[in-house]
Each structure stands twice: as C-alpha cells, then as structure tokens.
Amino acid sequence: MINQISFIKEGEFIEKSGSPALRLVGDVTAANPTQIVRKGVITRADMLQDFLADKCLGEPLDYIRFAVESTFGDWLPIRYFARKAGLSDKDLIAYIDTLPVQPPRKDLYRKRLASPDTAYAKPSMRVAKTQKRILDGEAVHASDTKAVTEIGLAIQGLNHPLSVEIPRIRALLTECLSVVQKASKGGAGSATRRAIARLDELLFSNRSSSTENS
C-alpha cells in the first residue's frame, strides 16, 4: 500500500488521472521521537564528555576500539565503557588482544588494567590543599589552566573509597575539560585526562561498587 502512495506537499497538488495520492496537511514527525540517536565515529572528546555525563551515546565497544586503536596511550575512561558492554577487566583485556594494534600498545593497556590504581598520583603538599578543599565541599573552580592542572592532580590523588559526591567530581572535571578544550596545548589537558581515568578506576575497577553516591 505504502508503495502506491505519492506524498504531495500542501499547496502543490497536481491531479493526474490514475495516480493515487495522499495529501498531507501540516508537518510529518517521526513515529518514535524519543528514539536515541547513536553516534557514528567516536572521538576523544566524545569519550571524555560521555563518561563525565554518564551517557553512552555510541556502541560501547566503539569507544574501546577508539581508545586502543586511535590514540597514543592517552589516559581515557576505558573501564566505564567496558562495563556498558558487559565486560569485566579480564574480558576487556581479552577483547583488546583481538584488536589490530601493535603488541606494545596492548601491553600498555594490560598494565593499566592490572591494577585499580594505575592513574593514581600522590599529591604534593600544594596540591593536597586543593584536594582537601574538594573533599571538604568547598567551592573549587577551574578558572584557568593553572587551576585546572591543580584540580586534575588533586583528583588523581583521591583514594578508594571515595568520600566525596560523585556528581560533584564529574561536574568539576567537566568544567576542567571545557577550559582545556579552549586552551592551547599544555599540561592541563594531560592532568585532566588522567584525573578522568582515575575517577574511572575509582568507580569501575574490580574492587569498586557499581553504585555511585548521589
């Protein structure tokens, strides 16, 4: 039936003998407007932003493939997307072994996944003060790249179990990421990515609970 219908815009109706037509008045909308549109190509920004927003808008394995195949060992929240794909760390390592990348890159991810604290970095005395402010619930803002670097280092130094609300850390790292994306190259970007990877470790390593604080 649908193949026999010609859709004609209102105001442009031309009658032709023997041609069945359906005259549409108004707009045509999708039958399911709430359907989620999946991403195609995954980027580094997608991986970082989607993790911080707690939204997997693409196929989980596509994020993992991007991290392993298309970056040079960047610190990325790979465990989060593995869990979305139903993979444990052991399963994730087995999956990475199937990807067409050089052995040194596979070894890098094996080492990172072998410990729940690979992205951890002990904070200096100065950074420890920023970390304490975060843990105490004080207002900390990513006002510039220097502040972003200190925040990143402070989050890298967080221990398990977390004693701070997860949404607050996600929001702070989102603020840092926004500053980094507008800035020129520098240490702030590296500090932020590693901090995001540290949060990924704290939330989704094998020792972590799958339940986040609200």
Residue 66 main-chain phi, psi, to 5 deg: -60, -50
Closest among 153, 164, 140, 158 to 189, alpha carbons compared:
153
Bridge partners of 8, per DSSP, are 23
Q: What local confidence, expressed as pLDDT, does residue 5 receive? A: 43
Spans of the chain, pLDDT less than 50: 1-2, 4-17, 19, 21-37, 208-214
Residues 200, 170, 118: CA angle, nearest 5 degrees:
25
Closest among 134, 212, 205 to 173, alpha carbons compared:
134
Interatomic CA distance for residues 47 and 62, integer angstroms: 10
Interatomic CA distance for residues 173 and 40, integer angstroms: 25
Q: What local confidence, expressed as pLDDT, does residue 132 receive? A: 97
Closest among 96, 132, 139 to 114, alpha carbons compared:
96
Q: ω into residue 161 within 30 of 0, thus cis?
A: yes
Prediction pTM value? 0.78
Closest among 120, 191, 178, 122 to 151, alpha carbons compared:
191
Residue carrying structure tokens 């890098």: 108
Answer positive or negative: Cα dihedral of 16, 19, 20, 22. Answer: negative
Answer positive or negative: Cα dihedral of 125, 126, 127, 128. Answer: positive
In 38-165, alpha helices (H): 44-53, 60-70, 78-84, 89-97, 103-114, 125-135, 145-156
Radius of gyration for the chain, computed over Cα atoms and rounded to the nearest angstrom: 24
